[in-house]
Amino acid sequence: MDSKKTKKVILVIEDDPLNMKLVADLLEAAGGFEIIKASNRKSVFEILQQTIPDLIILDLQLPDIDGFEIMKRLKSNEITKAIKVVAMTSSITLEDEEQMAEFGFNRYIRKPINTREFVKIINGVL
């Protein structure tokens, strides 16, 4: 269980099961992460009641809630405020890094993700 303590806890919020699988598999393959999966708003806030992850990978387009809305809630809560967040989007709108930083995102990854760089990016944020 020691090793578990050193493991970084990452909450992946993604509605598409295949994309979820891809991200989770990449992180698992890299090792050293504990991955918690959430695919809708309900599960996100249930999980956050119990666990405070080190990092959240947030898909900005969820069917029942906007990614920015989740972000707003995270940042308005003292406990969740400090959690690092990496945004993932398949949007064609060209939000730039600066704009995303204003919302409090630590990184901004456009889909399709680069599997070769993905873990590096995550580690960089951590």
Partner 1 sequence: MAQTQNKYPARATIASKLLIVFISFILIPMVFIGYVEYMYANGAIVDDQVSKLNAIANLKVEKIVTYFKQIDANMVLAQDFLIIKKNMPMLIAYAHDKSNPRYIAAKQELDSQLKPLQKINRYDNFMLLTTKGEFIYSSNPEHDLAYKSGLVKKMAEDVLTKPKTGIYRSSIFQYGKTARDSEIMAGSIVYDEYGNQIGILIAEVGMAHVYEAIQDTNGLGKTGETFIVEKRGNEAILLSPLRFDKNAAFTRTIDFGDMGDIASQDVASGQYGVIAKDYRDKQTLTVWRYIPFMNWSLVVKIDADEVFAKVYVFEELFWFLIAITLLIGIAVAFIIAKCIAGPICKLQRGAEIIGGGNLDFRVGIETRDEIGQLACSFDDMVANLKKKDEDLIIAKQKAEASSQSKSEFLAMMSHELRTPLNAIIGFSEILVDEGVGKLNEKQKEYVKDVLDSGQHLLLLINDVLDIKKVEAGKMELQLVETNIKSIVDSGILMIKEKADNHHIDIAENVDENIGCVTIDEVRMRQIMYNLLSNAVKFTPDGGKIGVEAKKIDNHEVLIAVWDTGVGIEEKDKSKIFVPFKQIDGELSRKYAGTGLGLTLVKKMVELQGGRIWFESAGKNQGSKFYFTLPTKQEVCHI
1 touches partner 1 by CB under 8 A: no
Side-chain half-sphere exposure of 42, counting CA atoms within 13 A: 0
Report the DSSP beta bridge partners of residue 84: 55
Asked if 111 touches partner 1 (CB under 8 A), the answer is yes
Give the DSSP per-residue string, 60-109.
SB-SSSBHHHHHHHHHHSTTTTT-EEEEEE---S---HHHHHHHT-SEEE
Q: Does 102 bind partner 1 (CB under 8 A)?
A: no
Q: Please, are residues 12 and 40 in contact by the beta-carbon 8 Å criterion?
A: no
Which residues pair with residue 38 across a beta bridge?
A: 13
By CB under 8 A, name the one of 9, 47, 113, 125 that touches partner 1.
113
Q: Is 93 in the site for partner 1 (CB under 8 A)?
A: yes
Binding mask 50-89 for partner 1 (x = CB under 8 A): -----------x----------------------------
Q: Does 115 bind partner 1 (CB under 8 A)?
A: yes
The single residue among 7, 8, 9, 19 that binds partner 1, judged by CB under 8 A, is: 19
Q: How far is CA 80 from CA 43, 47, 77, 95, in A?
A: 15, 12, 5, 24
Nearer to partner 1, 48 or 58 (CB): 58
Which residues are near partner 1 by CB under 8 A?
A: 16, 18-19, 21-22, 25-26, 29, 61, 90-94, 111-116
